[in-house]
Amino acid sequence: MESGLTPEQHALIRKILVAQTESVGLIEAPIVEGLLRDHRCRCVLDVGCGEGSFLLRLARQMKGVRFVGIDHNPLAVADAQSKIKKRSLRNVTCRTGFFDARFERLKYDAILTRYTLQHASDPPAFVAAIYERLRKKGVFVSVESLDAYSSAHEDNPVWERFRMSLAAIHRRGGSNDSIGKSLGRLFAAAGFRNIRVQVVLCSPSTVGWKRFQALIRISAEAAASLCPDLFDRTLLEDVQMWVDDQARLEREDPFLCTAIASGIKP
């Protein structure tokens, strides 16, 4: 998925990825950094780095670590490369590449996937291929969606419709929006040890209403534009009106879940 996108489709998805980095990414990034520091990682491969906002955030915080991003979407790689150049970051590179069992056999201290494994057609084979490219004692860190656990402090029908429509879009695109549930099992089957899985909630109470509002608005606008049959204009207008009501959103505190898993190659 996401390799044969038109520039217009790519621009919509890029906006979602940036909004994710600027919302839930604020919680995920320090956890990922902590895992990379704990394992004294010097060289990290980010598989499916997309437009690079999350990867560059890590690179800015961890100047002593060398980051390599790959993505099979050349438009995303071009975005990431231009950001790297603009910010004069010297510890990160990015290039086009497709990750599977045939990917080059260089070894890394750590491999990261964020919202990438959920697009794999064969997740066990994907995780096995990651395992093969880690050094002994290397760590695999995977940040993935756990949409099935997303909910709210107080239920709201608009939030339910939003979530159901996005789930239908994921199904159509062949992506597993709840692969977070399976990370522990996938890691264990590949041979990883010391497996830990934590859950992160992105909500008005955790990232602030403004960031949450921006993420939901951008996701809804992209969904309505990319898949109008699954996300209609009425739903878009309902979502926009709902997320703009700060007091209501803060009271209901809807949340999206992601899972962060780590495992060591023995």
| Closer residue to ligand SAM (CB): 3 or 234 | 3
Least separation in angstroms between residue 98's CB and ligand SAM is 5
| Closer residue to ligand SAM (CB): 17 or 202 | 17
| Closer residue to ligand SAM (CB): 97 or 184 | 97
Q: What is the 3-state secondary structure (H, E, C) of the chain?
A: CCCCCCHHHHHHHHHHHHHHHCCCHHHHHHHHHHHHHHCCCCEEEEECCCCCHHHHHHHHHCCCCEEEEEECCHHHHHHHHHHHHHCCCCCEEEEECCCCCCCCCCCEEEEEEECCHHHCCCHHHHHHHHHHCEEEEEEEEEEEECHHHCEECCCCHHHHHHHHHHHHHHHHHCCCCCHHHHHHHHHHHHCCEEEEEEEEEECHHHHCHHHHHHHHHHHHHHHHHHCCCCCCHHHHHHHHHHHHCHHHHHHHCEEEEEEEEEEECC
Least separation in angstroms between residue 46's CB and ligand SAM is 7
Contacts with ligand SAM, residue ranges (CB under 6 A): 2-3, 17, 20, 47-50, 54, 70-73, 76, 98-100, 114-116, 119
Least separation in angstroms between residue 8's CB and ligand SAM is 16
Least separation in angstroms between residue 94's CB and ligand SAM is 11
| Closer residue to ligand SAM (CB): 88 or 121 | 121
| Closer residue to ligand SAM (CB): 20 or 178 | 20
Least separation in angstroms between residue 111's CB and ligand SAM is 12
